[in-house]
Amino acid sequence: MTSPSPACSTGPTPPPPPCTGTTATVLSPRALLSDAQFNGVMHTVLDGNPGMEPEMAGRIVVEAIAFLATAAKSTTSLVPSRVVDEGWHALILHTGLYQGLCFRLGGFIHHVPERPDPGRRSQSSVERTVAAMEAAGYTPDRDLWRGPEDTTVSVAADCQHSDDGGTIIITPKPK
């Protein structure tokens, strides 16, 4: 793997755009936020999930950023896992940061949650999202993309996203 170009470092606010100046095909979602921004969001995850280790909270935030970066460019419906949705919720609570991140990714990504309904949850929707993330150049943390009913990682998030309900709305829509 080659070193990122200077434009891909986690420099001053606002953070740089996604790394594209390398020959590596794997993108770093972490590079989309400054250290202070990332730590603030990570601590929001920790605050909502007492007893969670900071390392796990950081992994959740990284996956949420990669999910959003993929969803912003996708023309198909994508859904976060229950665990990754926790990171998305934390990002949304940092409204200015979230707005800036969305617009750097290509458009504002609205979160429209649905009430939990186990009958509508689909592992195939989660797998489609993971495949889209891989195609976009990310390496999903598979332990955080398990099925909707998996409770290996305990998080407070309890909303759901169906695969065809239009729960993720990008403004403007990708072309």
Q: Where are the domains of the chain?
A: 29-171
Say whether pTM exceeds 0.85: no
Q: How many angstroms separate the first and last alpha carbons of the chain?
A: 31
Per-chain mean pLDDT for the chain: 78
pLDDT at 62 over 70: yes
**What is the per-residue burial (b if ≥16 Cβ within 10 Å, else e) of 27-53?**
bbbebbbbeebbebbbebbbebbeebe
pLDDT band at 17 (very low <50, low <70, confident <90, very high): very low
Give pLDDT tens digits for 73-99. Answer: 988 888 898 899 999 999 999 999 999
- Number of DSSP helices (H) and strands (E) in the chain, helices first: 5, 2
pLDDT of residue 100: 96
Higher pLDDT, 166 or 29: 29
pLDDT of residue 140: 97
